[in-house]
Amino acid sequence: MALNIVIMAAGKGTRMKSARPKVLHRLGGISLLQHVLNTCVPLQAARTVVITGHEAEAVEASASGEGLAFVRQVPQLGTGHAIQQAVPALDGRATTTLILNGDVPLIRADTAAALARACGGEKLALLTIELADATGYGRILRDAAGAVRGIVEHKDANPAQRSLREVYTGMMAAPTAALKRWVMALKNDNAQREYYLTDIVAMAVAEGVPVVATQPDSETEVLGVNSPVQLADLERRFQRAGAEALMEAGVRLADPARLDVRGELRCGSEVEIDVNCVFEGRVSLGDGVHIGAHCVIRNAEIGAGAEIQPFTHIDGAKIGPKATVGPFARLRPGAELGAEVHIGNFVEVKNSTLAAGAKANHLAYLGDATVGERVNYGAGSITANYDGAHKHRTVIGADVHVGSNCVLVAPLTLGDGVTVGAGSTVSKDVPAGKLVVARAGQTIIEGWQRPTKAKKA
Ligand code: UD1
Ligand code: MG
């Protein structure tokens, strides 16, 4: 069945009290609109039309998907007026047109597909739900036989209609040709002086076109975002569902309510994640990886059996099997740790590779460095990789021992097995196997006395 999809995203979202257009606020790290666009992918629509208006350029620039078309609605005179703007962009050969909302991000693809199937190019299909509190929503009007007769907006409804609990979710699927005809015939003689898309229901009934209603599996799918409170509520629901999927797959979460995944998290078997961790972008955790509490990990690949201790920050790094990192470590983009590497507290690594078994356990910086196997990099040592204009590399051979509090001034090469005496500032290459000491010699001053305060008389 060929399908058009129209996504309404022109509204301002006044209640968000934000300069950012509502549909560009983020849920699980991606925009509300992009959630809807991603959901549409499996539906394989002939055309997907996004209606923009408020901050149209920013909204259009943010959206990604194949074969997207944008139409602008300025000014915004209601949902019916929005669909009027989309009419010229619809593919006439696609007999069903599905209408979704850019601010209802958690609609599921199979619910949307079922709605489109219920239309089947012939019927008007509405997605409806029964709510305990229906305030603000359009109410579904049914006749004595239970057939849908129309939708009345909350502001136009009389007390009897307001007591109805079945509401229109804002999503429908309509026969394309009839939809075009109906929306062009809409009038705005209502409480809000708007062109209501919902008025097409009565038009369909008048023409004898069957109107059917389908329901989503859960209320979460049809909840819209109008305020920061609603956005936070949906974020928690989204995170909870993601956490449950991870646990179903065997991941042990210390607390599913204290995990945030803003992107894609892939886990092997026997993975454990402690509380308050945030995963962003693409992260993969190998078999048996343990993540301590309060870690922020983004775009990283962590090998089997690695141990990430609490309060560690990892961004754009690759970590080998059985490595240990943290607590309080920072791995920046381009950090690549081999098997069984140890990175300890207050150690920062950027654009550097550490071969198997290398250790930097305390208070150190490695930037633009190539570190050999089994190197021991002492507490407080740093690579001075920046000369004020350019970055330079430091190459540290296998089995090098860098003492505490050293400065390795790049460009610099330390051969295999070099030992660097504590407190050295090394700026010239050192051949393999040598001891280098580059610091002022120790002097003992004979007969020196500490100054003393003169006593008052
Ligand atoms: C609409 C429905 C109501 C339903 C409710 C569900 C109408 C007339 N009413 O009401 O029956 O219960 O959604 O949430 O359709 N938009 C535009 N251009 C406009 C107006 C709106 O693009 O001119 C977009 C908004 O950005 C939003 C969506 O359409 O994404 C719905 O608009 P909104 O103003 O929230 O409609 P409601 O009054 O809530
Ligand atoms: Mg609304």
Mean pLDDT taken over the chain: 97
Amino acid identity, residue 307?
Answer: E
The secondary structure of residue 431, as a DSSP letter, is: -
Dist. CA 50 → ligand 1 center (Å): 14
Q: What does the pLDDT look like over 398-442, one tens digit per residue?
A: 999 999 999 999 999 999 999 999 999 999 999 999 999 999 999
Spacing, Cα 41 to ligand 1 middle (Å) = 23
DSSP for 161-195 reads HHT--EEEEEEEEEEHHHHHHHHHT----STT---
Q: Of the residues 294, 313, 342, 362, which is catalytic?
A: 362
Report the phi/psi class of residue 65: left, alpha or beta, with left for phi > 0 and alpha for psi in -120 to 50: left
**Which ligand has the nearest atom to the CA of 197?**
1
Measured distance CA(149)–CA(200) in Å, rounded = 11
Closest ligand to residue 223's CA: 1
How many helices (H) and strands (E) would you count in the chain?
Answer: 8, 38
Do 387 and 370 meet the contact criterion of CB atoms below 8 Å apart? no
pLDDT tens readout for residues 240-276: 999 999 999 999 999 999 999 999 999 999 999 999 9
Nearest to 100 by CA among 22, 5, 10: 5
Q: What DSSP element (H or E) covers 80?
A: helix 79-86
Q: Is pLDDT at 105 greater than 90 in this prediction?
A: yes
Q: Whose CA is nearest to atom 1 of ligand 1?
A: 170
Q: Indicate the top mutation candidate among 25, 79, 155, 169 to test ligand 1's pocket, ranked by most ligand atoms within 8 A of CB.
A: 79
Backbone angles phi, psi at 431, to 5 degrees: -70, 160
Q: Is the C-beta atom of 11 inside 6 A of ligand 1?
A: yes
Answer yes or no: is the C-beta of 167 below 6 A from any ligand 1 atom. Answer: yes
- 39 C-alpha to ligand 2 centroid (Å): 20
Those residues with Cβ within 8 angstroms of residue 383's Cβ, 6 or more apart along the chain or in another chain: 352, 365, 366, 367, 368, 369, 394, 408, 410
Instruction: Report strand pairing: 148-152 vs 139-142.
Output: antiparallel
Q: Measure the CA–CA gap between 354 and 157, rounded to whole angstroms.
A: 69
pLDDT digits (tens, 9 = 90+) for 354-408: 999 999 999 999 999 999 999 999 999 999 999 999 999 999 999 999 999 999 9
Any idea which ligand is nearest the CA of 198? Answer: 1
Starting from the CA of residue 194, give the closest ligand.
1
Encoded tokens for 178: 């009839």
pLDDT, residue 282, reads 98
For residue range 129-167, list pLDDT tens digits in order. 999 999 999 999 999 999 999 999 999 999 999 999 999
Overall residue count recorded for the chain in this entry: 457
pLDDT for 150: 98
The pLDDT of residue 219 is 96
85 lines ligand 1 (CB under 6 A): no
Q: Ligand 2 centroid vs 226 CA: distance in angstroms?
A: 7
Please state the atom number of ligand 1 nearest to the C-alpha of residue 77.
23
Identify whether 75 is preceded by a cis peptide bond (ω within 30 of 0). Answer: yes
Does the Cβ of 168 fall within 6 Å of ligand 1?
yes
Q: How many CB atoms lie within 10 A of CB 283?
A: 21
Helix (H) or strand (E) segment spanning residue 353? strand 353-354
> End-to-end distance of the chain based on CA atoms, in angstroms?
105
- Domains by residue range for the chain, with CATH: 3-222 (3.90.550.10), 228-436 (2.160.10.10)
Please, what is the Cα angle at 69 between 107 and 36, to 5 degrees?
10
Report CA(338)–ligand 2 centroid distance (Å): 52
Q: Do 36 and 50 meet the contact criterion of CB atoms below 8 Å apart?
A: no
Alpha carbon of 53 to ligand 2 centroid (Å): 16
| Residue in the structure block whose two tokens are 């699927």 | 173
Phi, psi (rounded to 5 degrees) for 189: -85, 70
Q: Work out the burial of residue 59: count CB atoms within 10 Å of its CB; fewer than 13 is exposed, 13-18 middle, 19 or more buried.
A: buried
Per-residue pLDDT reduced to its tens digit, 187-236: 999 999 999 999 999 999 999 999 999 999 999 999 999 999 999 999 99
Atom of ligand 1 nearest to the CA of 169: 6
| Predicted pLDDT of residue 67 | 85
- Is residue 157 helix, strand or coil? coil
Does position 1 have pLDDT exceeding 70, yes or no? no
Pocket flag, ligand 1, residue 68 (CB < 6 Å)? no
Decide if 80 contacts 39 (C-beta within 8 A): no
**Strand runs (DSSP E) across 210-295, as ranges?**
211-214, 252-253, 259-267, 272-273, 277-285, 290-291
Measured in Å, residue 213 CA sits from the centre of ligand 2 at: 19
User: Which of 44-48, 327-331, 453-457 is the least confident region?
Assistant: 453-457
Q: How far apart are CA 317 and CA 301, in angstroms?
A: 7
397, β-bridge pairs = none
**Which of 433, 432, 430, 438 lies closest to 405 in space, CA to CA?**
438
Tell me the mean pLDDT in the region 97-126. Answer: 98
- Cβ–ligand 1 contact at 84 (below 6 Å): no
Torsion of CA 26, 32, 38, 41, to 10 degrees: -170
Q: Is the CB of 303 within 6 Å of ligand 1?
A: no
What DSSP string describes 306-338? -EE-TT-EEES-EE-TT-EE-SS-EE-TT-EE-
Give the mean model confidence (pLDDT) for residues 303-320: 98
Instruction: Return d(Cα 221, Cα 421) in angstroms, integer.
Output: 64
User: Looking at the predicted structure, is the pLDDT value of residue 457 above 90?
Assistant: no
Residue 76 Cα: closest atom of ligand 1 = 23
* Tens-digit pLDDT profile for residues 64-99: 998 899 999 999 999 999 999 999 999 999 999 999
Q: Which residues lie across from 362 on neighbouring strands?
A: 345
Asked about 362 being catalytic, the answer comes back as yes
Residue 347: its H or E element: none
Beta-carbon count within 10 A of 349 CB: 28
Q: Which of 302, 321, 379, 304 is nearest to 312 (CA)?
A: 302
